[in-house]
Amino acid sequence: MSPTLSAAMALHILLILSAFVFTTVIAQDCSYVLPEYQNDHACLEFDLAPLADLGSYNVTQTGAYGYNYMVKVCGSANASELPAACAGKPLAPAYAFNVANNDCYVLGDLKHDFTYPVDPLNTGAGIRLAYTNGEGNNGAWPRAVVYDLYCDTSGEDKPPNFAYEFPALTYTFTWYTKHACPLVQTGQVCSLPKFNSTFDSLRLRTAPTWFNKVKFGIF
């Protein structure tokens, strides 16, 4: 093997390895199926994956805290878009940062996602997507981010808006989007995500019983 060919192969291998070492974004399959409230033999499929193609959003919180948020659904925010305050933080679906104080916190983990209807009595209204197990506060309560995605038939790609922080360290955003309008699948029976009563990352004390079946989601 010639030195030139060996060098080319070595460079090719290094480029492949660098793709793994210097990953700047993580994608996620965001297809969720929930039962239709008014029809036991119909399921609603929410395909949120196209929201990832819209990229990350820099959301400004109104108020005295001075925090901004970099948020994304169905994947991690691109590392190249993060402020210097977030340098070195793990890839995540959302960050809270304060440029003036050089503070940055990871909100949620893509491996810990939960979904349920934004309105249990009107399951076609949209879907709530939560990412939990984010960065803790002095070793306590991991942060979480909640996206309330509402079905919007206007056809516009509207940005998310910060709604509130409640309970503490749980950050909720509202998002009106056509991608939260479900596809109805008739002639099928689907089950609800089961609620894990030992999981308390959202600090919410109870889980509702949806039309007297099983407990689900994190409320």
Res 142: pLDDT: 87
Domain count, the chain: 1
Could you read off the pLDDT tens digit of each residue along the chain, which spans 219 residues?
Answer: 554 444 444 333 332 222 323 334 454 568 888 888 777 778 888 999 888 888 889 998 765 567 899 999 888 888 888 889 999 999 999 999 988 888 999 999 888 888 888 887 888 899 999 998 898 876 667 899 999 999 999 988 789 999 998 888 899 999 999 999 998 877 766 665 544 433 333 333 333 343 333 333 333
Q: How many CB atoms lie within 10 A of CB 54?
A: 15
Has residue 5 been placed in a domain?
A: no
Has residue 200 been placed in a domain?
A: yes
Has residue 70 been placed in a domain?
A: yes
Has residue 33 been placed in a domain?
A: yes
Instruction: For residue 142, say if its preceding peptide bond is cis, omega within 30 degrees of 0.
Output: no
Name the E strands within 48-125.
57-60, 68-71, 94-98, 103-106, 113-117
Has residue 16 been placed in a domain?
A: no
Res 185: pLDDT: 76
Res 63: pLDDT: 56
Has residue 171 been placed in a domain?
A: yes
| Residue 115 identity (one-letter amino acid) | T
CATH at residue 52: 2.70.130.10
Res 28: pLDDT: 57
Residue-range definition of the domain harbouring residue 179: 25-212
